[in-house]
Amino acid sequence: MHVYNKDKQYKDLGGGVMRKVLAYSDNIMNVELKFEKGAVGEMHKHPHEQIGYVIEGSLIYKEEGSEDVTLNAGDTYIVAPNVMHGIECLTNVKLLDIFTPMREDFV
C-alpha cells in the first residue's frame, strides 16, 4: 500500500486545527495535523498508543503527571494509552501522529 499526500484532503476541525488521515490498517494509522499559531490541542485521552513527530514549528506539550515541555521541529513525543495530553502552539505547527491501533473515530 502507498498513499500520495497530494491525494488526501485536510479536515478543518476548527480553532486553527486541520487533520489529514494519510494511511491506516486495523493496527496502525498515521495522521498529518496543522495548527495555526496560538491554536490549542485540548487536553484529552484515548486508548491508543501514540507517537508524534514535530515536522515544523514549536509547541508546548502537556501531559498529565509531567511538567510541560517545549518541543521544536525534529522532536518526538510518545503518549501511553489513556493518558491526558494536549498542546499549545507557539508558532504555526505541522505534526505527524502515529496511532496503534488505528483511530476509528478519525475515519
Region class of 74: left (phi > 0), else alpha (psi between -120 and 50), else beta: left
Q: How many domains does the chain have?
A: 1
Cell output for 36: 495555526
Whether the per-residue pLDDT at 1 is higher than 90: the answer is: no
CB 98 within 8 A of CB 28: yes
- Domain CATH code at residue 52: 2.60.120.10
Q: Which of these, 54, 31, 48, lies nearest to 85 by C-alpha position?
A: 48
Is residue 51 classed as helix, strand or coil in its secondary structure?
A: strand
Tell me the per-residue pLDDT of 6-28, one tens digit each, with 9 for 90 and over: 999 999 999 999 999 999 999 99
Tell me the per-residue pLDDT of 32-77, one tens digit each, with 9 for 90 and over: 999 999 999 999 999 999 999 999 999 999 999 999 999 999 999 9
Q: Which of these, 66, 98, 58, lies nearest to 84 by C-alpha position?
A: 66
pLDDT at residue 16, as a whole number:
97
Per the domain annotation, does 10 fall within a domain? no
pLDDT at residue 76, as a whole number:
98
pLDDT at residue 55, as a whole number:
98
Range of the domain at 89: 16-102
